[in-house]
């Protein structure tokens, strides 16, 4: 006997005092949620199947730590062959760090240990390293590896900065194989055309804030993260 997607997806749950109309609408939504899960997994498979991207043009030298020691891109991989690198919008001409970037990094700071079981992670800002570290201390970050690209062209090369010097949020993935480093993926959705009124949503999957708000009846509304809340 054939069943439609809604029946096949039925979870068999019934919450206290729910109406028939609620359950019918919820089952329809459940089928859509299951389809979205399949699509997310299919897109992730496409991402993993990408051929190697372009080799990096240089072994960028960053600054790290209170002593502003130099560290090269090739040294960021550690024991792994994959490097996850986020371009944090905190340029030298910005009065403060980007609230949205900082909100996402608040959450990412707590996931550093499990991420490092599988890949290396670096957060790269355009401001001098002391400025980045000062913000991190005030914010309470304890685990993120912060680097400054103030003295190299990493940010503009990998679209964390526009030709005019405007900072942009950008996630990039690099792979190391046989001694060569290639770019494998970048969050181009931040630059792609989108429907009117729609957020870029280029890193929503790693940003718990939006996942929580999307579950609520009010949704995201016109809310945007701030650096401070009264």
CATH topology of domain 78-230: Glutaredoxin (3.40.30)
| Residues 8-37: b if buried by 16+ CB within 10 A, e if exposed | ebeeeeeeeeeeeeeeeebbeebbeeeeee
Three-class SS of 57-117: CCCCEEEECCCCEEEEHHHHCCCCCEEEEEEECCCCCCCCCCHHHHHHHHHHHCCHHHHCC
In angstroms, the CA 209 to CA 124 distance is 22
Q: Which residue has the tokens 């080799």?
A: 55
On the question of pLDDT at 100 being above 50, the answer is yes
pLDDT tens for 191-222 read: 999 888 788 888 888 999 999 999 999 999 88
List the chain domain ranges. 78-230
- What's the longest Cα–Cα distance across the chain? 70
Average pLDDT over residues 141-170: 97
Read off the pTM: 0.91
Taking residues 25-46, what's their average pLDDT? 96
């Amino acid at each position: 006997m054939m069943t439609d997607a809604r029946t096949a997806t039925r979870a068999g749950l019934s919450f206290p005092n729910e109406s028939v109309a609620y359950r019918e609408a919820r089952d329809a939504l459940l089928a859509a949620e299951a389809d979205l899960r399949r699509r997310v997994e299919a897109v992730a498979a496409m991402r993993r199947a990408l051929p190697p991207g372009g080799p990096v043009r240089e072994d960028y030298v960053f600054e790290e730590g209170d002593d502003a020691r130099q560290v090269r891109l090739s040294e960021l991989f550690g024991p792994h062959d994959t490097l996850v690198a986020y371009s944090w919008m905190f340029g030298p001409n910005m009065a403060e760090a980007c609230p949205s970037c900082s909100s996402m990094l608040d959450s990412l700071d707590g996931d550093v240990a499990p991420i490092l079981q599988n890949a290396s992670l670096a957060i790269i800002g355009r401001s001098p390293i002391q400025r980045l570290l000062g913000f991190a201390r005030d914010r309470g970050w304890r685990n993120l590896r912060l680097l400054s690209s103030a003295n190299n062209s990493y940010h503009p090369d990998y679209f964390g900065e526009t030709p005019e010097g405007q900072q942009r949020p950008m996630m990039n993935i690099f792979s190391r194989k046989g001694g060569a480093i290639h770019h494998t993926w970048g969050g181009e959705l931040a630059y792609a055309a989108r429907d009117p009124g729609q957020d870029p949503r280029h890193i929503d999957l790693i940003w718990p804030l939006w996942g929580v708000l999307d579950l609520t009846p009010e949704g995201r509304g016109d809310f945007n993260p701030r650096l401070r809340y009264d």
